[in-house]
Amino acid sequence: MAVSLLSQLKQMTTVVADTGDLDAIRRFQPQDATTNPSLILQVAQQEQQRERMAGIARDSHDLNDAVDRVAVDIGSEISALVPGYVSTEVSARLSFDRDATVARAHSLIERYQQAGVDPGRILIKIAATWEGIQAAAQLERDGIQTNLTLLFGTAQAQASADAGATLVSPFVGRILDWHRARQPDADFSGANDPGVISVKGIHDDFKAHGYTTIVMGASFRNAGEIKALAGCDRLTISPGLLDTLDNETGTLTRQLDNAPASQQADARAPLHEAAFRWQLNEDAMAGEKLAEGIRKFMADQRRLEALLEDLSRKH
């Protein structure tokens, strides 16, 4: 019997569902699941969720409270379906506020504890700004695990690993989008995909320098990008692409070695703030996509806030 590419991928990479869709999670049985403001909004907008969302909105102190309650409510349901991590994002509004990010992360963890979810299974997602990375460093010291997201460049990756982040989510598809917009006729297929090249570089760099931070490729535009990163520590994949891989057979070849870093790996000095900001400024793609990603997540959070406010008035 032919074995699907998804089944083969699970043998070499931890597969993560990039969705809040409970039916999709049940079907594909990933190890972990990730959410973000856009995915939470998609779930909250479903007709069958309106009464539930209205109840949360009515019982909340304010919109910040309501948004966090929705995220934890959905995350708690997901935690019952996956054996591993569930990622929940701190508001993009706090992307440049270290202390507020730390406080909100502690609040989210307390909410999960109250819901009966083991805090050790939660990754707090934070945008990989300098302030976000420093918040992650403090949270890791506090025993709260973090996922640095909206990561597009090597400076963000190194600083996140220096901070001891549990996991980083370097984006693939959004990097490809940026390059396609500037070189529409270029061949970006397979190994030529700049997003794939970026994640491979980060993965190999972490192994070479002894970082234990997990590399989880994210934001895929096609199944070819996933195949080109087979063997990465983790890959978080949308239901549509999980379905594509589940329905395709053939041989999937490992492209990356996700073995633990060597004990003889070369250590290097941490990246300090001035160097981080300069390198990010020099990397036009990373700087632009980070800013754009924060704006997009915040736009979806505002839409969620408006939805909850509207539901609280109508029900």
Residues marked active site are found at 125
**Do the beta carbons of residue 178 and residue 288 sit within 8 Å?**
yes
Give 141-147 contacts, CB < 8 A, sequence gap 24+: 142/102, 142/106, 144/105, 144/106, 144/109, 144/119, 145/85, 145/120, 146/105, 147/34, 147/85, 147/87, 147/123, 147/216
Nearest to 10 by CA among 96, 83, 76, 87: 83
Distance separating alpha carbons of residues 163 and 213, to the nearest angstrom = 9
Pairing between β-strand 167-170 and β-strand 214-217 as defined by DSSP bridges: parallel
**Do the beta carbons of residue 156 and residue 287 sit within 8 Å?**
no
Give the Cβ contact number of residue 6 at 10 Å.
23
